[in-house]
Structure 1
Amino acid sequence: MTTVADFTKHINEGYSSKGQSITLGGAILNGEAVADTFVKVPLKTLNRHGLIAGATGTGKTKTIQVLSEQLSSYGIPVLMMDIKGDFSGIAKQGEEKSFITERHAKINIPYTTASFPVELMSLSQQNGVRLRATVSEFGPVLFSRILDLNDTQTGVVSVIFKYCDDKQMPLLDLKDIKKVLNYITEEGKEEIEENYGKISTSTTGIILRKIIELEQQGGDIFFGEKSFEINDLMRIDENGKGYVNIIRLTDIQDKPKLFSTFMLSLLAEIYQQMPEKGDVEQPELVIFIDEAHLIFNEASKALLDQIETIIKLIRSKGIGVYFVTQNPMDVPASVLAQLGLKIQHALRAFTANDRQAIRQTADNYPTSIYYKTDEVLTSLGIGEAFVTALNEKGIPTPLAATMMRAPMSRMDILTDTEITEINGKSKLVRKYAEEIDRDSAYEILMKKIESAVQQAEASAQTEVEEKKSNEPSTASVIGKSVVKVVTSASFIRGVFGVLSKLFRK
C-alpha cells in the first residue's frame, strides 16, 4: 500500500534537477495537492519539443503563459502563435487574488506579480510588426509542397525558379510568379521550350489556380518585402528578459493555408539560418503553436513529412517547438513521438468517440501505480494537468497530476490603448512598417513585353509607310497592306503576345 510519503519521494526523485529548471506546479494525489512535491522541467530538455492539450476552458493558455514567463525570466525568447487573441496580457503585471493565494499555499510556491517584454506581430493588416517573406526565400520545393503540387507540377515550379535565377529576375511576391507562369505559356513559350523543355499549359493552369487559392487566403499580404529577419525573434531586453513575440492570428482562423504556410516557412528558415548547438544548457528560442490542428488538418502528406523532418532536426539548433491543441490525437503519431514534454489538461467524455479518444490518450502516457489515467483525465479541474517530461538524462519522468502555478502577469487581454502603446515604443514595428515593391519578375517581364510591342508597332508602321510611298493610294492596295501587317503581327503574337495591342491606334 502506497502512502503520501511514498508519493512525495516518487515525484521529487523523478523531477529532481541539478541544473536550472522551470517549476510548473505541485503534484496531486487523490484529488488533493501535496505540499512540497514540485513538478520541474530542466531547461536543457526544453528543445526536445512538447504538447499542451486539453478541452476548451481547462487552462491551456494559462499554462503557456506560465511557461513563457519562466522562459523569459531566464533570458530565453518565446514565439507564441496566438489564434484566439487571449495571450497578450503577459505584457502587464498581474494581480494577486484570493484563489491565487490559496492555490500557491497548497503547493508551497511563493507568488509574485511581474510583467514581461512583448512584441506584437501580425501576418495581416492588424497593428503590430508586419511579418513577410519572399517567394524566392521559400524555394521551389517548399513552395510546391505548400501548394500541394504533384511531381510534374513541382518540376515546372523548379523550372520557373531556375529561369528567374538565370535571368536575374527576383521572385518576391505572388504577382511575380503568376506573371512568369503567364509568360512561359504565352509570350515566352518558344524561349522556354528551347532552353528548358516543353511545358504543358494545363500544368501551368493548375499551378496558377493553386496560387490564386493561396492568394485569396491572404498570401498576397504575406509574400513580399521587407522580409522578416529571424534574428529579431532572439532579442533580450535591458533587464535580461527574453522577448515574448506574440503573433496575433485572430483574423486568419478561417485561413489555415496561410497559417500553415507561415509556420512551415518560419521553421525552415530558422533551421537553415541557426548554427548547430548540440546539447545546450537552455534553448535559444521556444515556439508555441496554438490550435495546431489547423495545420495538420489541412496538410498534405508531403507537407506532413516536411514538418516531421524539421521537428526532428531543429532541436539540434536549440529550438523547442510546442503544439497546443484540444486533443492529442490532432497531432500525427509521427510528430507526437518527437515530443518530450506532455502537459495534458482535462478531456470531456460526452460521446462514445470521446471515451475512445480518452483511452487512446491515456495509452500515450507512462503507467503509474498512483493514477487510473483515463479516469483522472476526465476529473482534472481548471488549471490542473497530467505532466510527463524528460529529465536531464533524457529519461521520461513519472506521470504527475499537477496543480499548475498561476501566471505572474495579467490573466486577461490588453486593451486597444495598451496595444497602441506597445506598438508605439517598438523598434521592430518601425523597421517593418515600410512595404517595398522594387523591380522584380513582374516589372521586368512587363518592360520586356512593352518593348516588344513598341518594336512590333514600329515595324508594322514602317512597312505601311513604305507601301504608301511606292504604290497608288487605292482601296485594293490598302487592303493588301493590312493583310501583310496582320500576317506579320500574328507571328509577333506567337512570340510576344501583342496582337491585341498592335492596332490600338
Structure 2
Amino acid sequence: MATSGDGIADSKDKIFIGKEQQAAWLTLALANRHGLVTGATGTGKTVTLQVMAEGFARAGVPVFAADIKGDLSGIAEAGTPNDALIKRAKDMGLKLQPDQFTTVFWDVFGEQGHPVRATVSEMGPLLLSRMLDLNDVQEGVLNVAFRVADDNGMPLVDMKDLRAMLDAIAPIAQKVAEHGDVNADIRQAAQALGNVTKQTVGTIQRQLLVLENQGGEKFFGEPALLLQDMLRTDAEGRGIVNILAADKLMNNPRLYATFLLWMLSELFEELPEVGDVEKPKLVFFFDEAHLLFNDAPKSLLDKIEQVVRLIRSKGVGVYFITQNPIDVPDRVLAQLGNRVQHALRAFTPRDQRAVTAAAETFRPNPKLDTAKVITELGKGEALVSFLEGNGTPAMVERVLIRPPTARIGPVTAEERKAILAASPLKGKYEAAIDSESAYEMLRSRIDGKASGEGGAAEGGLLGQLGAIVATVFGTNTPRGKLSTGQVVARNVARTVTDKVIGGIAADLGKSVGGSLGGSVGRSIVRGTLGGLLRR
C-alpha cells in the first residue's frame, strides 16, 4: 500500500482518497451514508472507484462493484507503477508499494465468473415488469400469476415456471368472465380478472422470449445466489472484492439496472438492523447509475428511494457512479452524503445546467469558485466533499486522487481463469439445478387428470373450466386441508350451476381482485421490490 512519513495512509477508521492543499479522508463510520462519483468520460471515475474499493478492502469491508468495461478486474493483480503514478504519489508524500486484493468474479452468463442466479419469485412482479417493460395492465396480470402461484404452493423458479403459470390463468379468467352477467359475485370477478386475456398473456410471453434471447434464461434458476457469499473477508482480514462482469450484461441496460436493484433489495431484506457501525458490512458500487432511473415509473422511484434511505441501517453503503449529477433524482441525491466530482464539460445548455447543479450540491468553500473549477479539472483531479464529525458535509476541496496500488486495467483471460480456479466458491454455483416447481407441478396435474379422469373429454363448461381450475389448484387433497382455490376446483368438478360459477367468481375475485384493485396481500408485498418487503 502507499504510506508516508507524515501519517498519510489508510487507517482503521478512515480511507485516504487524495490530496492537494488538504488531504481528503473518507471516514469509515460515515461510509454507509452513501456517495456519488460523477464526471465526464475519461476524467478518472473508474480509477477513483478502484482507489475507494482498495481502501475499503484494506479496512476489512467487502466490496461489490459492477465492471462495465473490464478495467476494474485489475484490482486482483499487483500494480506496476509508471513514472506518472510514482510522481503523483511523491507529490502527495506517499511511497507507492504495489498491492493486490482477493477477488471473486461473478457473471450472470457464467462466462467470466461464477454464475449469478435468482428465482423468479425472488425477483418479484414489480422488478420483473420493469425488466420486461410491461404496461400497467400487463403488470397486473403478472401480479395475478404470482398470487396464484403463492396461494397454491407452486414455486416460480425459472422462466418455464412463469410461462406455465401464465398459460394456466388465462383460460380460468376467460371462463369466469364469460359468466359475468349471472350475479354480483361473478361481475366482481369479471372486473378483477377481465384483463387476464389470452392477448395480454401472449404479449407477456413474447416479452419473456425477448428476455430469454438476451440471456435471462441463464439468470433465472437455481442454485440462487446466497448474498452471504459476498460478505466475506480473506485470511488476512481484508474484505473480498466482488466484481460483476457487466460488459455483456450492458447489452441490455434495463436487465443490468434491474439486476443490481434486485441485489440491493435482497441485501435490505436479508441483513439485520445494525444502526451506526464502525465500518460498513458491505459497500456497493453502482456504475452507470443513470440506467436505473431512466424512464422509471414513480412507483419504482419511490422504492429506490426507500432502499437507499433505509439500507444504511443495515450497514450497507451505496455509491452511484454516473456522468452527471442531474442523472440522479433529487430525492435520491439527497441521500448521498459523500461526493467526488470529476470534470464536466459545459458544451451544451444541458451540460451547463449539470455544472451549476453539481456546484450547488457542495458545501461552499470561500477559496474556490466551484462551478468554474469543475470545468477546469484535469484527469485524476476532483472536487471532494466527505461527511465529517456529526455527519455534516465538509467544505469542498480540490484534490488529486491518489494512485491505486493494484493494476490499472483489466486482467488477462489466463489470469481470470486462474483466479476462478482458486476461488473458494468454485463448484458451488456452476451446475444449474432443475428442481420440482410450478412447471412440473402443473404438468403432473394435467397428466394425472388425462390418465385418471379422461381429461376434458366430457365437454362443456364442466370439462373445460373444471379441468383448468382443478389443474391449477389441485383436487387430491383431503377436504379438511383444501385451500379456497381447491374447494372451488372440486365444486366445479361436481356440477355446473350458477351457484358454483358464483362461488368461483367470489373466491377468485377475493383472491385476485384485491391485488389488482390495490390492496396488498402477503405474497404481493413480498414481490413488490424483489425481496425488499418479504414477510
Q: In 2, distance between residues paired with 1:164 and 1:355?
A: 51
Q: Aligned pair in 2 of structure 1 residues 347, 40: CA closer, same or farther (>3 Å)?
A: same
Can you list the C-alpha shifts for 1:110-139, whole angstroms capped at 9, x where unaligned?
Answer: 321100000010112423111111111234
Change (3 A) 1:142 1:355: closer
Alignment CA distance shift 1:459-1:422 (3 Å): closer
Instruction: State which drifts further: 294-303 or 81-90.
Output: 294-303
TM-score by length of 2: 0.78
SS of the aligned residue for 2:112 comes to coil
Range with greater deviation from structure 2 (147-156 or 313-322): 147-156
Shift in Å at residue 141 of structure 1? 4.7
Match of 2:303 in 1: 306
Is the Cα–Cα contact under 8 Å of residues 112 and 245 in structure 2 kept in the other structure?
no
Residues 283-337 of structure 1: CA distance to partner in whole angstroms, max 9, x if unpaired?
Answer: 0000111111122224222222111110000000000000111111111111111
Please name the residue that 2:96 is paired with: 111
Q: Deviations over 1:137-192 (max 9, x none)?
A: 23445444555656665554343233223322111012211211111112686599
Matched length: 450
Give the CA deviation at 1:208.
3.8
AA in 2 matched with 1:186: P
Query: Which SS does the other structure have where 2:215 is aligned?
Result: helix
Aligned counterpart, 1:353: 350
> Of 313, 316, 321, which residue of structure 1 is paired with 2:313?
316
Residue of 342, 367, 370 corresponding to 1:373 = 370
Which deviates more from structure 2 when the two are superposed, residues 41-50 or residues 173-182?
173-182
**Counterpart in 1 of 2:117?**
132
1:21 to 11, 14, 25: 14
Letter in 1 for 2:19: G
Contact 1:291–1:325 (CA<8 Å) still a contact in 2? yes
CA offset digits 1:337-374 (Å, max 9, x no partner): 11011101111223343223222221222222111112
Instruction: State which drifts further: 393-402 or 352-361.
Output: 352-361
| 1-structure distance, mates of 2:443, 2:11 | 64
Q: CA offsets per residue over residues 19-64 of structure 1, 9 Å max, x none?
A: 711011112xxxxxx3xx3111110010001111111111111111
Classify 1:171/1:76 alpha carbon distance in 2 versus 1 (closer, same or farther; 3 Å): same
Amino acid at match of 1:439: E
8 Å contact kept, 2:9–2:15: no
Q: Which has the larger radius of gyration?
A: 1
Question: Which letter maps to 1:160?
Answer: A
Partner Cα distance (1:382, 1:306) in 2: 35
Q: More deviation in 183-192 or 65-74?
A: 183-192
* Structure-2 residue corresponding to 1:483: none
Deviates more, 1:237-246 or 1:365-374: 365-374
2:147 is aligned to: 162
Shift in Å, 1:392 = 3.0
CA contact (8 A) 2:456 2:463 kept: no
Q: CA deviation at 1:397?
A: 0.3
Structure 1 residue 430 corresponds to structure 2 residue 395? no
Which amino acid is the alignment partner of residue 26 of structure 1?
Answer: K
- SS of residue in 1 equivalent to 2:274: coil
Cα distance, 1:459–1:63 mapped onto 2, change above 3 Å: closer
CA deviation after TM superposition for structure 1 residue 257, in Å = 2.0
Q: Of 269, 282, 285, which aligns to 1:285?
A: 282
| Contact 2:110-2:116 at 8 Å conserved across structures | no
Aligned-pair CA distance for 1:252: 1.9
Q: Report the secondary structure of 1:432's partner residue.
A: coil
Q: Are the equivalent residues in 2 in contact too, given 1:119–1:243 (CA < 8 A)?
A: yes
CA distance in 1 between partners of 2:347 and 2:109 (Å): 37
CA distance, structure 2, for counterparts of residue 141 and residue 349 of structure 1: 37
AA aligned to 1:94 is G
Structure 1: stretches of 5+ with no match in the other structure = 1-11, 28-33, 461-486, 498-505
Alignment of structure 1 residues 79-98 onto 2, 5 Å: 79-98=64-83
Give SS of 1:362's match: helix
CA RMSD of aligned residues (A): 2.8
Amino-acid identity (%): 41
Q: Choose the corresponding residue for 1:335, options 315, 327, 332.
A: 332
CA separation in 2, counterparts of 1:47 and 1:459?
A: 59
Moved over 6 A (4+): 15-19, 191-196
Structure 1 counterpart of 2:487: none
Distance 1:137 1:490 in 2: 36
Corresponding residue number in structure 2 for 1:121: 106
Does residue 325 (structure 1) correspond to residue 322 (structure 2)? The answer is yes
Q: Give the secondary structure class of the aligned counterpart of 2:425.
A: helix
Deviates more, 1:222-231 or 1:125-134: 125-134
